[in-house]
Structure formats: C-alpha cells, structure tokens
Structure 1
Amino acid sequence: MTILIRPSAESDLDAITAIYAHAVTYGTASFELDPPSRTEMAGRRAAILDGGYPYIVAEKDGTILGYAYAGAYRTRPAYRSTVEDSIYVAPSAQGKGVGRALLGALLDECEALDFRLIVAVIGDEDSHGSIALHRSLGFELVGVFKGIGYKHGRWLSTVLMERRLGHGIEAPPTRPIAAG
C-alpha cells in the first residue's frame, strides 16, 4: 500500500473528525467520552499548528487513512522541548502500516523542529498494537498509571513511553520560550 504522508489541511477535517469520533466511541486510545464536533476539532488543530507543532495525515487515493500530531506535553516553559504524540487510524486502515508511517514521519518532523523528547500516553494496557508500534520505533516504557480512567464500563490504565529525539538531553534546548 502506497501511503502519502503530508501536512494536514482544513479540507481533511471531516475525515479527521470521523476517525476520532470512532476512536472516542469504540476505543480506549482517547479517554474522552463524547466525540467532539468538527468545529471543536478545527479549533484543536489550529491550536496545534499555531503552537508550532506538526499535524500530519496519511492519504491513499484521496482518502484520509489516519492522522497524527505532536503537541505540548505540558504548558510550562521548562517543558518546551518535550512533546506528546497522538495517532489515530481509520478502522479500515488499521494493521496496514498506516500508524507506523504516521509515527515515523512525526518523529522526523519533531526532530527537525529540535524537540528533544517525545512522550506517548497510551490509553489502556491492552493496546498491544500501539505499545508494540512505539517500542519498534525506539520508545521505552516509563511506567503505567493503573486504573486512571473509567470508560466503557471498566477502569483503564495508561502506559507511558518516551523516546529521545535529536540531541536529546545532551545539550541545552534551543527552542525559545513562548511569549505570553
């Protein structure tokens, strides 16, 4: 399967919203309980892009198969070189290399922007595919928050993983402190 990875566009928002709605409704990757509207998703995407973070999509033959972005891990200035990844793949495209293509491209984008650490907060210890994907691309297990959220009638844990990027913590950050 030839997959095109490219920056997201506003015209992708219907597909992005539908992919995320499915993940919220049926999955545990997100701990949201109700799918957000297209307007809300547009605002979230704009905030990511306005913050100088990457937001990409996977496309094949004009169909959006998934999307990924990196956002601030925390908002305090000392965290400015650390990002958290988010990856969502359409149900029909899962298990076909779309997540790997998105995460690989996202890692490249984050290194090009001189982020130093990327964190994965994976919903549910049973998300074996996501855990394996992150591990295969160099993420290491940091820990597990047991029973931190309640969704679909059960307590869910989150798996924390991290991967150093570029110069890692071997040199001071070069990213400026955001104004405000």
Structure 2
Amino acid sequence: MSDTPAAPQARTDASSAPARIRPVQDSNLPAIRDIYNHYVRTSTVTFDEEETDLAVWEHKRELLAETGLPFLVAADADGGVLGFAYAQHWRAKSAYRFSAENTIYLSPDAAGRGLGKALLEALLDASARAGLHELIAVIEPTAAGASIALHRRYGFVDAGHLKGVGVKFGRTLDVLFLQKSL
C-alpha cells in the first residue's frame, strides 16, 4: 500500500465510474504518444511539427523518474489512457532545479469531463511533494483558451507574453507564460 494521498478522480461521463489519476506505467506510453501526436498533426497547442516515436516517451519517462518529477495519467476503469500530465525541469542549469514546466494533454474524446482539472490538481500536489517551488505553463493562447482559464483558476498568474516566436501550419504564433508558486 502506498503512503501517497488518494488521487483525484474525474467522471469519464455522466454514468460511468470515475477516471483514476496515477503514475505513468510503461504500458501507457504508446497511448501517450498517440494522444500527443494527434495534437502535433492537428493543433498549435504544441509547436512540434513532426510526430514523436515511442523512444521519445520512454526517454522522457526515464528522465522524469531519475529526477523525481511527476508523470501522471488519467486512466479509465480498463486502464485506458484518457490523458496525461508531467512536470519537467524548466532549464538544465542547476539554479533552475526547483522550477518546472507543466504539461497536460487529454485524449480528444476525453475533453469536457473534468480530467484536465483532476490532472492539474494531482500534478500540483505531486510537484510540491517533489520539492518544486515554481510551475510554469507555456501556452499558445489562440489554441488553448480552456487551458489558460484552468491554470488561472488554480492560481497561475501571467508571467509573460512572447509574440510571434513560433510558426506552425503557416501561422505566426505567440506564447503565453503563466506561473504558480507552490
């Protein structure tokens, strides 16, 4: 039995059992890759323009485990991945060791079920337990209004706005920085 607090849960729909938020498992990585690659192909929420392969996610899981940072999934009753969240160090320099960028992605068919909220709550708790002091959300504002609103509801404040720093699908894109002290 784990000594960690009960994980937040979100309803997967009005009539089903709640989704469970838990640490990532190796078997979740193909689904995580697929969720992420959906956004690479269809959206500006990520500035990646080429799909990632499984090795990228295996390396990320290994790195986060080595550094003690959280990598979580929202799983349905059958263990299917509905979304994921993680915190990775903001920069490689040691002075940044208490600051991390948070990331949350949901399966396209899992949106609107409270999973983003549940993942963010769990990530905030896990990040504080990991010793982080600051979380930074990096969000492309035209594609992720719901994400901006969610982060602000949880106490993230505006920390900067970079204009025209990305180009994807022929569009010039901004980046909004939101920050929360833990």
TM-score by length of 2: 0.87
Shift of 1:51: 1.7
Could you give the per-residue CA deviations for residues 142-166 of structure 1, whole angstroms, max 9, x where no partner exists?
121111100012011111000000x
CA distances 1:11-45 after superposition (whole Å, capped 9, x unpaired): 00111010000011111221000111112221122
- The equivalent of 1:119 in structure 2 is 136
Q: Which residue of 2 aligns with 1:21?
A: 37
2:121 to 104, 112, 115: 104
Give 1:124 shift.
Answer: 3.4
Map of 1:137 onto structure 2? 154
Is structure 2 residue 28 aligned with structure 1 residue 50? no
In structure 1, distance between residues paired with 2:94 and 2:154: 27
RMSD: 1.0
Q: 2:100 pairs with 75, 80, 83, which one?
A: 83
Percent identity over the alignment is 38
- Equivalent position SS for 1:148: strand
Q: CA deviation at 1:117?
A: 0.7
Q: What residue is the counterpart of 2:22 in the other structure? A: 6
Residue equivalent to 1:173:
none
Q: How does 1:55-66 map to 2 (within 5 A)?
A: 55-61=71-77, 62-66=79-83
> Within 1, Cα distance between the matches of 2:67 and 2:45?
23
Q: Is the 8 A contact 1:125 1:159 kept in 2?
A: no
Q: Is the 8 A contact 2:21 2:118 kept in 1?
A: yes
Moved over 6 A (4+): none
- Report the Cα distance in structure 1 between the residues aligned to 2:66 and 2:131, rounded to whole angstroms: 17
Alpha-carbon offset, residue 125 of structure 1: 3.6
2:89 maps to what in 1?
Answer: 72
* Aligned partner of residue 102 in structure 1, secondary structure: helix
The corresponding residue for 2:56 is: 40
Deviations 1:72-96 (A, max 9, x none): 0011111111111011100000121
Distance of 1:98 and 1:40 partners within structure 2: 24
Write the letter of the residue equivalent to 2:164. G
Q: Secondary structure at the match of 1:50?
A: helix
CA distance in 2: counterparts of 1:77 and 1:40, whole angstroms: 23
Q: Gapped runs of 5+ residues in structure 1?
A: 166-180
Per the alignment, residue 172 of structure 1 pairs with none
